[in-house]
Amino acid sequence: MERRFGSTRLAPAGFVVEHAEIDAERVFLDVRAAAISATCPCCGTTSRRTQSRYLRQAADLPIAGRRVVLRVTVRRFWCDAFLCRRRIYAERFGDGVLDPLSRRTGRLETIVHHLGLALGGRPAAAFADRLMMPVSNDSLLRVVRRRTEQPRNELAIVGIDDFAFRRGQRYGTIVCDLERRRPVTLLPDREQATSQAWLSDHPSITTVARDRGGGYGEAIAKALPHADQVADRWHLMENASRAFLDAVNKSMRQIRKAVGSTIVDPRPLTHAERLQYEGYLRRQETNEAILELSGVSASETELA
């Protein structure tokens, strides 16, 4: 008995193909959900009352050496539950089929995840491009991190620092979860008491990365005496860079004598360094003019 191959088999489960369009490089499939109703994600009530529709696109597994783009017609429904806070919601397409806000279907996301695990970033991106599934190396790494992330309800390693609501006028404090790489909370100010009160409510924290200011250090020591205080990578680099520049600035006179010239080639300098060097030259001209007017030779007087 001969079996016919329907176009609906080209789409993921739960979709119905309404139209297919093929060009030299891609296959476009216009699809919609097969179900006639949808469930509210807040209260779980099923509704058939359609409020509106919109179009979204998602990449799918390639067909015959061509990229596949799903043009999905998504319906919005009215929620029939009287006490539900979500009056309008968009239909979902099932776990692993097409996640909300995702630009890839679940089965393509699985392939991308395995490529990232097996090959890493750039090699996997090059291989995926040859498989007609173009994806950037950053996207590959994000998929791997997202799928391997272990859900945790308690904070363990956080970073704390200040930020400006309005520079020079109002500052606050930001706390980030360094394991999940996302912000946790924003505190209204950078006072020690505010930070200490928030930290006291989270005794599960074992490590805190902070800046070199003493205010946060005292708050951590009082609220979490068992926690380790460390400097984050940015502040370590900032401290090392500032210490190096201070050492160079203190030894510039000896450096110029060792080089044998006080003239600096401005071409390799950055814009900020060039402005600083031009200011130095203007000050030197002013100093020489003052010495000449006062009748004192520059060789007899050393200016700091």
Q: Residue 140 in contact with residue 111, Cβ under 8 Å?
A: no
pLDDT in tens, 207-255: 999 887 778 889 999 999 999 999 878 888 888 888 888 888 788 777 7
Which has more confidence, 273 or 220? 220
- DSSP classification of residue 19: E
This prediction has a pTM of 0.52
pLDDT in tens, 126-152: 999 998 888 998 888 888 888 876 656
What does the domain layout of the chain look like in residue ranges?
12-94, 104-149, 157-235, 251-304
- d(CA 284, CA 256) in angstroms, rounded, equals 14
β-strands 46-47, 38-39: how paired? antiparallel
CA-CA-CA-CA torsion for 19, 22, 26, 32, nearest 10 degrees?
0
Q: Residue 99 in contact with residue 58, Cβ under 8 Å?
A: no
Question: Phi/psi of residue 212, each to 5°?
Answer: -90, 0
Asked if the model's pLDDT at residue 57 lies above 90, the reply is: yes
Per-residue pLDDT band for 278 (boundaries 50, 70, 90) equals confident
Asked if the model's pLDDT at residue 12 lies above 90, the reply is: no
Q: Residue 196 in contact with residue 165, Cβ under 8 Å?
A: no
Q: Residue 86 in contact with residue 44, Cβ under 8 Å?
A: no
Composition of the chain by helix, strand, coil, percent to 5: 35, 25, 35
Q: Specify the CATH superfamily of domain 157-235.
A: Ribonuclease H-like superfamily/Ribonuclease H (3.30.420.10)
Coil/strand/helix, residue 81: coil
